[in-house]
Each structure stands twice: as structure tokens, then as C-alpha cells.
Amino acid sequence: MSTLRRIYLDNAATSWPKPEAVYQAVDTYQREIGAAAGRGAYAEGIAARDAVDATRHAVAKWIGAGDPRRIIFTLNGTDSLNIAIHGVLASGGGHVVTSVAEHNSVLRPLAALQDAGRIQVTRVGCDAAGIVDPEVVQKAMRPHTRLVALVHASNVTGAVQPAAAVGRIARAHGALFLLDAAQSLGEMAIDVDELSVDLLAAPGHKGLLGPLGTGILYIRPATEDRVASLRQGGTGSFSDRDRQPDDLPDKYESGNLNVPGIVGLGAGVRWLAEQGIASLHARAIELTRLLLDGLSTVKGVRVHGPASAESRVGVVSVTLEGYDPQELAATLDTAFRVQVRAGLHCAPLMHRALATRALGGTVRFSLGPMNAEEDVEAAVAALAEIAAQAPVP
């Protein structure tokens, strides 16, 4: 094992390290409670249920949702998106508007439904910075558009999309608006009403700082009738019936929940609330600006996405002349212990739009709340040292 200090800049994949309170919450649950939630009337069973409810309330408050029952716990962000997409489109028919900036967790479910001849899909483009124009979305809408699916912030460019404007367009046309907040929730203020969001999907292990294996799906009031349940099974409620309950969250939460993960997620959200979203966002912008400024001085580096830190989350993708992205990421880790992500980032259409797909993608630096200025400075210095040794074309 290298003696160099580990510089973790892959928070867009999963956040690390977590706040100490997250580790403590999971350990306490595992050692002292250990029971399933909603499956027993004994003290520890009730404690498990109460812990899950507390997390549900914390997440609901974080996104401005009035009713905590509308927070559905899922396996991860991909699971949340699949529940939303397949749930809305279960009956088949209709039209969906999405963008080339989406993650495969949106692209693939829609492609599967399209290939089966069940829906029509329009994928709108973006500008050179990776930002979607709401007017293009407006023009793509049809009388039978049922769903508009948009990533809030790109996991490739970090570009923040005009979600509020797109949400208003979807609502004006009677379509549901699904927002993929995988890269924004926890770093930016999100109010589901202000953004006209009907369905919000996110992992629990990224910006919310929870453990892996956690995710959330918000479902707006009066929307659940348009979102079918994909799984049926035990919910610990209405056990005298052999039909899935319609009550929330039970309609979408069959089987035992990942209570250790959910307890850790609750601790992560409470930690975020203690810091304050304004402070977290300002700090993210500060570190992102420092990174962008540093990268601008490195010869041969091209930064993809918006020029300003204010127009993106803490995700910055680069290419370096003379280096394959995988080779560059491997060198950063082995020689400098700077850990980043290389490749297409499960967003092939975004890389096609950026003309980086044929290059093998990009190298992505992604910041988190536990990063400091010295992490950014060390990463830039490492990249500069590698660039200085780049092979001459």
C-alpha cells in the first residue's frame, strides 16, 4: 500500500469519507437494534420503525416535501429511476421527452420500452457546455407526451440544467416531470414545489452521504395513481389482503427495507442540515472554482462543461492531450494517490455530444463536502506533472 495520502475525488460515484455520525448510526443499529422495521411489536422492532420514519421525515424536509410518506426508500438511484419510469409507462403508449445529457439509468429503461414498441422517445440535444434549452423541450412536447425526464446536474460536465423551466413546461402539457437529482441533491437547494417536480429520484450514498445500497424516490401528491408498483409482497401492513396496498409508502416498499443503510442515510441528511445548504453550496462553488482555475494553467488540458463554477456542481471532466483517459486516471492513482473516474461515466450520449466518446471518454474529478483546498491543489499539481511528461505528438 502506498504511503502517499489518499486524495479521493470520485464523489460523483459515491461520497467518501462519510460523516462520523453515519458510521456510528449504522454500527449502533447493527449492534443494539438489529430488527426489521414494521415487522414486530417488541421494543427493538418499534425502534427500527421509528428510525426509518425519522429518516423519511428528514429527507422530506430536505427537499421541501410536506408529507414524509411520499418519500419511498429504494435500492439506489437507478432503482428509483426504474420505479418511476416503468411505473409511469407500465400501461404502454405515449411519448417521453428526455435529453442526451442523461445517465444510462434513464436512457436504458426508456430504450428498452422504445425497442419493445411500447413508447416513443425524443432525446433533445444540448449546447457546447452540456446545457439543455427549455425552448427545445417545449418544441419536443406532443399532445400524448406522458413523461419528461431530465438530469438536474450532469455526471459528466457538472452542468446544472434549467429544471424549473422544464418542470413548468411539463406541467403545462399535463406530463409528469421526473428529475434525476443524483449529482445535485445534497449540494444544491432543492424544493420540489418550486421546481414543479412530480417525481424526484436520487441515490442515498452520494450527496446525501448515506451508505451504499440506499436511494429515494419522491412522489408528488395525487401522482401515485399514475405510477404503478413494480414489486408486490410483504409490507408489514394490511397483511389480511392478497393485493398490494395503495397506501404510501407501502405501495412501493415490498420486502424488508435496508434499515442499516436507511439509518445511516438519516444521519447523513441530519449532518447536512447542521451545516446548512447555503454553506454547503458556497463551499462547493469555492472548491470547484479553485479546481477550474488550476486546470486552466495546465498545458494540454481541456475542460468540458460550463466555464463558471456557479453553472455546475462539483463535477469537472477533462481530457489531456497525449493520454488515454484510463491511462491518465491510473497514473494519477498509482503515482500520486489521486483517485478519479475515467471513461464514459454511463452517459454515452453526453460524450457523443461532447465529441469525447471516440477518445474513450474523459477523466472526471468530483468534489465532496469532505474535500479541502489542499486536495484540489495536489490534484492539479499531479496533473501538471503528468502533462509536462506528455508524449510529443
Under a CB-based contact definition with an 8 Å cutoff, are residues 364 and 316 in contact? yes
Domain match, 222 and 304 both: no
Q: Does residue 8 lie within any of the structural domains?
A: no
Would you state the pLDDT for residue 253? 93
**Structural domain count of the chain:** 2
Q: Does residue 201 lie within any of the structural domains?
A: yes
Which domain covers residue 310, as residue numbers? 276-388
Domain match, 108 and 126 both: yes
In this predicted model, what pLDDT tens digit does every residue of 80-129 receive, in sequence order? 999 999 999 999 889 999 999 999 999 999 999 999 999 999 999 999 99
- What CATH number does residue 87 fall under? 3.40.640.10
**Of 361, 364, 331, nearest to 344 (Cα)?**
361
Domain match, 242 and 296 both: no
Domain match, 236 and 367 both: no
The residue out of 258, 274, 290 marking a domain boundary is: 274
Domain match, 228 and 284 both: no
Q: Does residue 393 lie within any of the structural domains?
A: no
Q: How far is CA 45 from the centre of its chain?
A: 31
The residue out of 214, 247, 274 marking a domain boundary is: 274
In this predicted model, what pLDDT tens digit does every residue of 171-214 receive, in sequence order? 999 999 999 999 999 999 999 999 999 999 999 999 999 999 99
Domain match, 95 and 192 both: yes
Helices (H), 256-372: 259-275, 277-295, 325-336, 348-354
Place of cell 420500452: 113
Q: Does residue 4 lie within any of the structural domains?
A: no
Who's near 134: CB < 8 A, 6+ residues apart?
162, 165, 166, 169
Domain match, 49 and 93 both: yes
Q: Does residue 9 lie within any of the structural domains?
A: no
pTM: 0.96
- Distance, first Cα to last Cα, the chain: 34
Number of CB atoms found within 10 A of residue 140's CB: 18
Domain match, 203 and 232 both: yes
Q: Does residue 7 lie within any of the structural domains?
A: no
Q: What angle do CA 138, 71, 39 make, to 5 degrees?
A: 150
Half-sphere exposure of 129 (CA within 13 A, CB side): 15
Q: Does residue 5 lie within any of the structural domains?
A: no
Domain match, 321 and 334 both: yes
> How far apart are the C-alpha atoms of 129 and 377, rounded to whole Å?
24
The residue out of 240, 274, 308 marking a domain boundary is: 274
Domain match, 341 and 358 both: yes
- What CATH number does residue 365 fall under? 3.90.1150.10
Q: Does residue 2 lie within any of the structural domains?
A: no
Positions of the chain with pLDDT under 50: none
Would you state the pLDDT for residue 392? 54
C-alpha torsion 207→210→346→11, nearest 10 = 50
Domain match, 152 and 34 both: yes
Would you state the pLDDT for residue 393? 56
Domain match, 96 and 152 both: yes
